[in-house]
Amino acid sequence: PQLVSTANDPRSPSPLARVAAEFDALATTFDEYPIAAAANVALFENEARDMSPGVVLDLGCGTGRTLAALAPYSKELWGVDVSPVILYSAHRGLHSNNSVRLICDDVSTVQLPDSHFDLIVSHTTLHHLPLDGVERTLQSVARALKPRGRAVLVDIISQGLMAWNAPLARRL
């Protein structure tokens, strides 16, 4: 896999610096936690099996567990995560014949190519972002998807956030 560090330093003082530090500390045991459970990975895997995506992006990819599950159904895998330590775990653990690109960056500011991805997934990542970060991420997802692409974003978000984002979600 290709491991990329971006010009945007996610470790700089920002709301996500704390998140990055927390996940750095969890890197070696992350896959043992129920939040990384197989239920959502299976959901993403079923979606990929149904559509056979060529290019997949996982926002908040963590240790690469979802990317590994989607590898048999795609040709190119991309993962973005704010934690360099947990991303290095993904780098070490992903053994695939696919093209793999891992990017250390904030999911709300990472520069993604337009109309490039067939499937974009995210598992419990958006709730770590401030509201404007969620909006930027959803706009980026809409731009980065191919015309017939799909986004499957699973999270634990409040009713207030859902109501706030309802008009944006309808536009996606």
Got the DSSP string for 70-123? HGGG-SEEEEEES-HHHHHHHHHH---SSEEEEEES-TTT----TT-EEEEEEE
- CA 119 to CA 114: how far, in whole Å? 13
What pLDDT score does 7 carry? 46
Q: Which residue has the tokens 């536009």?
A: 171
The pTM for the full model equals 0.75
Return the SS3 of 125: coil
Contact 79, 104 (CB under 8 A): no
Grouped pLDDT means (10 residues each) for the chain, 172 residues: 55 58 60 60 84 91 88 93 84 78 89 96 79 87 95 71 51 46
Q: How big is the CA angle at 25 (ends 23 and 28), to the nearest 5 degrees? A: 95
pLDDT of residue 171: 46
The secondary structure element, H or E, covering residue 56 is strand 55-59
What is the model's pLDDT at position 29?
59
pLDDT given for residue 31 in this prediction: 63
Residues 6+ apart with CB under 8 A from 9: none
Taking the C-alpha atoms of residue 122 and residue 74, their distance in angstroms, rounded to an integer, is 16
